[in-house]
Amino acid sequence: MNQDSFAAVDSYLSGLYVDSDSALAEGLAASDAAGLPQIQVAPNQGKMLMILAKIVGAKSILEIGTLGGYSTTWLARALPADGRLVTLEFEQLHADVARKNLDRAGVGHLVEIVVGPAMDSLPGVSGPFDLIFIDADKDNYPGYFEHAMRLSHPGSVIIGDNVVRGGKVVDPGETDSDIEGIRAFNEMVGKDPRVTATAIQTVGSKDWDGFAIAYVN
């Protein structure tokens, strides 16, 4: 097994389970054209986020790390007409591209994009949120989790993307601050009695990674 076969299976699964969608495809093309990195969630992962938001019955969603609004679009599609989604993004260019993509997808009216370093924005964000998706700079994951707890209620679900990073989390030679941030996040979420949490590793078009999911008790 190698990355080619993982990507082929992702393509097979997405082909069967995820409708090809012009709004999402045009959004990805616009993100690409603007030079944004292609680090959004895979189509089948985006749809999983939407399904999780539906299971939770989410009326309010917080996302940390917007990029071009790809995962944002999936999450916003789970919201009722009076729902709201707040998404935090450091780069003005990413926020501008996301705004156009979200409007094109018909969910722009549900979404507020807050531009700036998320650790600076979070104290001014008012919750609570039913679902929180953490997907920005990995160094700050521990801080994002503490804010997510403050902005949640019993029954909220907190999801953290990229908690495996190609296995670097278990390589003692990997001491970069982003890997250290992910390790600290996994340690704190795994032992926090306020949540019931687990983590799952994944392969696919986005290589070997994983996500953590925490239910707020």
Residues that bind ligand DHB (CB under 6 A): 39, 135, 161-162
**How far apart (Å, rounded) are the C-alpha atoms in residues 199 and 188?**
12
Residue 91's binding partner among ligand SAH, ligand DHB, Mg ion, none (Cβ under 5 to 8 angstroms by kind) is ligand SAH
- CB distance 67 to 137 below 8 Å: no
Q: Are strands 60-64 and 131-134 parallel, antiparallel or unpaired?
A: parallel
Residue 89's binding partner among Mg ion, ligand SAH, ligand DHB, none (Cβ under 5 to 8 angstroms by kind) is ligand SAH
* Residue whose C-alpha is closest to residue 70's, from 112, 33, 115, 101: 101
Backbone phi and psi for residue 203, each to the nearest 5 degrees, phi listed first: -125, 170
- CB distance 144 to 118 below 8 Å: yes
Q: Mask 162-181, x = binds Mg ion (CB under 5 A)?
A: x-------------------
Piece of 56-64, 74-82, 126-134, 154-162 that binds Mg ion (CB under 5 A): 154-162
Closer to ligand SAH at the Cβ: 88 or 216?
88
Among 47, 94, 147, 165, binds ligand SAH (CB under 6 A): 94
For tokens 């071009």, the residue is: 68
H helices of 34-154, in order, are 43-56, 70-76, 92-104, 118-121, 141-150
Q: How near is the Cβ of 39 to Mg ion at its closest, in Å?
A: 6
Q: How near is the Cβ of 140 to ligand DHB at its closest, in Å?
A: 12
Distances (CA, A) of 210 to 6, 105, 138, 183: 14, 27, 13, 13
Q: How near is the Cβ of 74 to ligand DHB at its closest, in Å?
A: 14
Q: How many CB atoms lie within 10 A of CB 37?
A: 10
Establish if 117 lies at the interface with ligand SAH (CB under 6 A). yes
Closer to Mg ion at the Cβ: 10 or 161?
161
Among 10, 14, 40, 159, binds ligand SAH (CB under 6 A): 40
Name the residues that contact Mg ion, by CB under 5 A: 135, 161-162
Name the residues that contact ligand SAH, by CB under 6 A: 39-41, 65-67, 70-71, 88-91, 94, 117-118, 135-137, 140
